Amino acid sequence: MNVRKYVLAAVGATACAAMGAYLYSHFETKDVVEQAANTNAVQTEIRTIANYAPTDFTEAAESTINGVVHVKILQDNSRQQQYGSSDPLWQFFFGPQFQQQQTPQQPRVTGSGSGVIISEDGYIVTNNHVIESADQIEVVLNDRRSFPATLIGTDPTTDIALIKIDATGLHALSFGNSDAMKVGEWVLAVGNPFNLTSTVTAGIISAKARQVGINSNSMAIESFIQTDAAVNPGNSGGALVNTHGEVIGINTAIASQTGSYTGYSFAVPSNIAQKVAQDLKQYGEVQRALLGVQIREMNDDLQKETGRDNLDGIYVGGVADGGAAKEAGIETGDVILSINGESVSTVPELQGKVGMYHPGETVKLRVWHKGKEKEVSVTLRNVRGTTGIIKFGDQNELLGATLEKVSDKDLDRLGLRYGIKVKKLGNGKMKDCGIREGFIITKANRQPVTSPDDFNKIVLNASEGLFIAGVYPNGKIAYYAINLEN
């Protein structure tokens, strides 16, 4: 019996060896692999192995590093002189002329950040907070060429700004779809932290539609991509890119108690940043679309109140008279479940999705209304409650005023650091509320006003009213309230 087993084993081994020799002699190894790869089973196995293979970031880094620039913020000599000469403690120790003698004649760099080239002819996206205090902006490319930049427009509600340099043939980056990105995907942060140019760090997407409360604007949109890629001061305005080298976010903030990176950073999603940049380029202002609702996230009490069997959706806590939602039949107590087929479960998520549309566009909302689901069509409106496009300068006609910057001499005489002057008044809301020519506006809706452009942007973002603070040339302080709704 044992002899028979050995014989059979030997025969089997010989047969296997013969079959192997036959296959080897009749098929190239490459042919065998290619034939096997045609089967679904092997293809699935190949994909599984690829998913566990180490990620190579070199291609994404090389394709993006030349599309991210260093943005330098310069302040004029006059502003520096004014600040020093008006400081009583400085004058006590050094005398009133010391600051003027010591201040260099050329503007100096007082801050820096990053920017992303989005067109070959020099349009660059950055953060509003990077450039908001600048008298001049300088852009340094990765090849060390330097250009003065022109401010095209800003949007404080999303913290996005658009600038432009006079150059062609630049290395422009492409926007990716931030909505398609998933938690856990690899991303790279590209920027200039601590003035260290062309810095690349890696991490994953830690969360989406994150609201962190850093934007104090009353109409702020915070729907950040959260990542653990290291971001530090100077990274603001730089690119957050996927492994294909597509921009899926504009790095904006960090979560830190020290001022430096301690674990998490936040980026404006590319879908929002791209829409804002296009509006600024085309209209000079962002065309903000509004639903006209007050919203809250669902909780146990609201679930019971609405009769829902889960916590999905966004609770409507109030509906504005004359707003888009009220016209569409949405009422207080309804629950918004989706917009154009995309479900929403957090306030930032809904705000971010609505923020990608323009006034006058119609969206379909799935709503829980009086115990059942229904679909409604909503035509979005602008901050004025109409469906039209608001163009830069429209507010001047509404207010009936010609504005100009205040001279350094008048600022120094009145002890002011900034302000704009009402040069001329015609028929309009400023004259109606009692403002007289010569009035110097220092703040509007609690925001400092340093130029007519600053004031125009504040007016555009004021949904209901405008509260103005300022001073007359004789030193008399005055306050005015303007109703913008009628």
The position carrying tokens 């996927």 is 242
List pLDDT tens digits, range 122-179. Answer: 999 999 999 987 889 999 999 999 999 999 988 988 999 999 999 999 999 999 999 9
pLDDT-based confidence at residue 460 (cuts at 50, 70, 90): confident
For 146, other C-beta atoms within 10 Å of its C-beta total: 12
CATH architecture of 54-285: Beta Barrel (2.40)
Choose the CATH number for 293-379 among 3.40.50.410, 2.20.25.90, 2.30.42.10, 1.10.540.10: 2.30.42.10
312 is catalytic: no
For 190, other C-beta atoms within 10 Å of its C-beta total: 28
236 is catalytic: yes
Q: Which of 70, 112, 159, 454 is catalytic?
A: 159
Supply the pLDDT for residue 32: 40
129 is catalytic: yes
pLDDT of 238 > 80? The answer is yes
**Exposure string (b/e) for 469-484, b if CB count within 10 Å is 16 or more?**
bbbbeeeeeeebebeb
Domain ranges of the chain: 2-52, 54-285, 293-379, 394-483
Torsion of CA 345, 348, 351, 352, to 10 degrees: -100
Q: Of 471, 404, 452, 412, nearest to 79 (Cα)?
A: 412
CATH architecture of 394-483: Roll (2.30)
* Fold: same for 54-285 and 293-379: no
DSSP code of 260? S
Q: Which of 114, 223, 236, 265 is catalytic?
A: 236
List pLDDT tens digits, range 352-375. Answer: 999 999 999 999 999 999 999 999
Q: Which of 129, 178, 279, 454 is catalytic?
A: 129
pLDDT-based confidence at residue 485 (cuts at 50, 70, 90): low
pTM of the model: 0.71
